[in-house]
Amino acid sequence: MTTTLITGASSGLGAEMARQLAAAGNDLALCARRTERLEELRAEIVAAHPDRRVAIAALDVTDDAAVFDVFRVLTDELGGLDRVIVNAGLGKGAPIGKGRFDANRETAMTNFVGALAQCEAAMEHFREVGKGHLVVISSMSALRGMPKSMTVYAATKAGIAALAEGIRSEMLGRPDLDITVTTIYPGYIRSEMNDKVEQQTKFMVDTETGVRAMVEAIEKGVDTARVPAWPWKPLGTAMRHLPLKVVRKLG
């Protein structure tokens, strides 16, 4: 039985990961700011899977001390954590220099500094017990710089991907630690973060389908995965090499 902690679990990709991982046999620790949503999700999961243990906790990942405290409380409640999924994030932003530093800063603090705190808390536990699985949810937008309202979001997702790779690099040199680090690069998956966007986005898939691809990669413990594999695996390779004037059209 795997025990998995998911941040940002009250809606969207986080909530759907919780549902699918519970179905796959995981016990769960679910964190988010909106505890009423977590209560509803726990009731739904336990009704579908009566044998699952589901612990919940309120957490704002920009509160550094709370991240460490909540992770410890949930670890104690469930008797340990096998996997932590760093998922909480914001999608807001504005073009640089347009007077919305406040929005861009909030996204940067949540998506990068908040993710750093989560990685620190997770790795503190994994180092102590000698094993674990750290999963970081990045984005296909991390592969190149993105324009306008996507600029800071994409930069934070590139930052956490590099953070995860650095931790993975260290773990390769530590045969005494059985710690896996997985970076997931989701493409366009319908979620609460983007469900108010009216225009049709090419390659967009529904939440259940997109998350199924994410969960399959997580359960396999791969180093990195662009999901869904089609079209994002080949498109990601193209994004690395296409001229910026072409890549910017994907933003």
How far apart are the C-alpha atoms of 217 and 44, rounded to whole Å? 24
Q: How far apart are CA 131 and CA 125, in angstroms?
A: 9
User: What's the CA gap between 48 and 44, in Å, rounded?
Assistant: 6
CA angle at residue 160 from 197 to 147, to 5 degrees? 45
Catalytic residue among 126, 153, 188, 232: 153
Sorted by sequence, the CB contacts under 8 Å of residue 102 that are 6+ apart come out as none
Count of Cβ atoms closer than 10 Å to residue 187 Cβ? 24
Q: How far apart are CA 202 and CA 186, in angstroms?
A: 14
Residue 222 CA to residue 229 CA, distance in Å, equals: 13
CA–chain centroid gap for 132, Å, is: 16
Burial 188-199 (b: 16+ CB within 10 A, else e): bbbbebeeeeee
The yes-or-no answer on residue 153 being catalytic is yes
What span, in angstroms and rounded, lies between the C-alpha atoms of 80 and 56?
A: 14
Q: DSSP assignment, residue 112?
A: I
Q: How far apart are CA 251 and CA 242, in angstroms?
A: 14
Residues with catalytic roles: 153
